[in-house]
Amino acid sequence: MSTIFAGIPSWAYVVNVTVLVLIGLVLHVTFSERSRLRRLAYRDTVTGLYNRNGLDRFWKKYNGKGNLAVMSLDLDYFKEVNDTFGHHMGDMLLRAVGKDLKRVTNKHQQAYRVGGDEFMIILKNCEPDTVEILAGLILGKICRPYYIEGQDIAITGSIGISMADGQRADQRRMQKEADVAMYRAKRLGKNRYTVYKSSKIIDIAKVEPLQVIKKKSSAN
């Protein structure tokens, strides 16, 4: 090493090392920023869940192994929350729901926010009983009143489910079936889940509905 730099003035050596360090820092920052932007492209900014881009990425990478289930979840009465309390409160409610979805899912289950108050949950390597248990857990979490900025806000959820063997799993078909079943759940009275099976929609379960919105009374 001393032989290589023997004829180079010390100041030039310092300059060269400094330039190399700066280049390294610039490259590190550049690649870190690109990685951050790629992550943001697949994340919903309100809830922190994966977004529709993330959902499409899952389907592109899906290898067709194991059973697969798709849940379509829509929040009941969300429009009323926005109209009554404003979009700021609506966003806070969505964030709280997103946290609950993270709490009840595991590494084989992933929640996505795909629209205003629309979510999808993908379950890999799942059995029908597991899917139904998770649907019940989600409904149970959502129907508890959320306390947000001094207000008790009670909503419910409607869930539609499509299930298939991994080799027969198809994004467009399963998402459409899950949506059809979800709208059926809404027509049946909301606050329940229905399953799409063999071109039929089967009403599986419901949860007793709560009052939609309860304003916290102010102290006299």
User: 127-158 pLDDT, tens per residue?
Assistant: 989 999 999 999 999 999 999 999 999 999 99
Cα 180 to Cα 4, 73, 160: the distances in Å are: 73, 11, 7
Q: Which range, of 19-23, 31-35, 84-88, 190-194, averages the lowest pLDDT? A: 31-35
The mean-pLDDT minimum among 45-49, 55-59, 208-212 falls in: 208-212
207 contacts: CB under 8 Å, gap ≥ 6:
136, 139, 140, 143, 156, 191, 192
pLDDT(8) > 70:
no
- Residue-wise pLDDT for 205-219, tens only, equals 444 433 334 344 344
pLDDT digits (tens, 9 = 90+) for 60-106: 999 888 899 999 999 999 999 999 999 999 999 999 999 999 999 99
Task: Quickly state the pLDDT bin for 197 (edges 50, 70, 90).
Answer: confident
Q: How far apart are alpha carbons 130 and 20 in whole angstroms?
A: 55
Q: What is the rounded average pLDDT for all residues in the chain? A: 82
Q: Is 170 a catalytic residue?
A: no
The dihedral built from the CA positions of residue 178, 184, 186 and 189, taken in this order, carries a sign that is negative
Q: Which of 44, 74, 76, 117 is catalytic?
A: 117
